[in-house]
Amino acid sequence: MKRTAMELAAIATAAVPGLTPVGFAALSDDAEDFDSALIVDALKHRWRVRSPRHDEASMRLEAELSALRAFSAKVRASLPFALPAVAGTVRQGPLRTFVYKDMPGHVPTLDELVDEGSNLAKALGQCMASIHQIPDESVEVAGLPTYSADEIRQRKLNELDTAAATGKVPSRLLRRWEHAMEDVALWRFNAAVVHGDFDEEQLQISHSSITAVKGWTDLHVGDPADDFAWLSAIEDQSFSERVFSAYVEARGKSADPHIMRRAALAAEFALAQWLVKSLDSKDAERIAEAEEMLRELDQNIAEYGGQPLSVVEAPRPLATQPEAPAPQAAQKPVSLAAPSINTEKVTALAPEKPQSQSTPEKSADHQEDSADQPAVAAKREADAEEPASKDDEPKSDSTESEAKPATETDPAADKDQQAEESTK
């Protein structure tokens, strides 16, 4: 049951003794998981209330509390922003509502971030770098999840199988994602502490600086690229590039050069993950919306190629396959929404504008696949039964060259050879 801002204000008085609300307003949050409100008390102090709507959301708040308690004074001092402070909690049945002291600054929009310019882009890159430099032990002590690069890649492949089995994901997207997930070079990175739900709504900014970061419910050790996926919503790619440049400068040799590729993959694949989640909920409206967004993404990639995902180029189609029809006159790409796995927030995917010359990857993506969409899952199961080969081992950078198309036997040559043998 959804709680109003007035109801949350009443709950907050039970969580924080002496709190006397004189004003309140609803806050933007993960609408599927939380009800949130901003409260102003008689002393003009501001408070933020988050109330979980179900057991899973309640567990996320409990995880955040454990994470915040695990951050030592040394860790807190190393961060260039403030962390949330829990002022009180109140339990209602199996669920517990949390009241936080509000932090300085305000929540920006994506447009505002871009308008602030290079200073904020640099601050944002440094902010993300500082999170990824938190010692893993801080997360492990709190009992939060820890994943290696190989485990992350395998989880993605398993989720791809699940998405393919629905029969509702365009085959072009399945091939594109599968190739990226099987590209070993893309997944050579060191796991790091990851915020897990990072986007503009978790930020508080003031005068081109980041004053606070909140929403630590999904803190874990994993892929740093997950914290960059939301940048795909920003049409001005130069802003994202400035953020990444500042991040690399702050992290030095620890920075992974392929973060933005995996971030683009995460942003696209979030649509398939949302489709699966919608199917599980049996929400017909959400299912239809997820299918439409996947179709729009597929069309955009067919016309414009999309952002590059893989390090190793996808194989070119065989020469015997029909040529893809020439694209129509260039149109402005349609922005798609990529909902977060844990929320109903949407993040727009900004496909690249058409280039004067098509790339091999784009040509490959233009080819339609007549096979059923669940074929990806069947292929994965068949591959799992085969013994591992040397090709499965990580290759050095020198071997990461362009994949060559398979050669075919010329049918005409076979007929000539048979005719010659018959005459003998």
CA atoms of 417 and 411, how far apart (whole Å): 10
Band of the pLDDT at 414, cuts 50, 70, 90? low
Give the pLDDT confidence score for residue 1 in this predicted structure.
66
Structural contact between residues 82 and 212, judged by C-beta atoms closer than 8 angstroms: yes
**Helix (H) or strand (E) segment spanning residue 24:** strand 21-26
Chain mean position to CA 12? 33
Token duo for residue 327: 């694209």
pLDDT at 63 over 80: yes
CB of 220 closer than 8 Å to CB of 139: yes
- Kindly indicate the confidence band of residue 331, based on its pLDDT and cuts at 50, 70 and 90: very low
Q: Which residues contact 279 (CB under 8 A, 6 or more apart)?
A: 166, 168, 287
Parse the chain into domains and list their residue ranges. Answer: 5-101, 110-316+332-385
Tell me the residue ranges of DSSP E strands in 68-191.
86-92, 95-101
* 421, amino acid identity: E
CATH, domain range 5-101: 3.30.200.20
Distance CA 12, CA 55 (A): 20
Q: Where are the beta strands (DSSP E) in 165-223?
A: 192-194, 203-206, 209-213, 220-222
Which superfamily does CATH assign the domain made up of 110-316+332-385 to?
Aminoglycoside phosphotransferase (APH), C-terminal lobe (3.90.1200.10)
> What average pLDDT does this structure show over 53-78?
91
Q: Whole-number mean pLDDT of the chain?
A: 80
pLDDT at site 233: 85
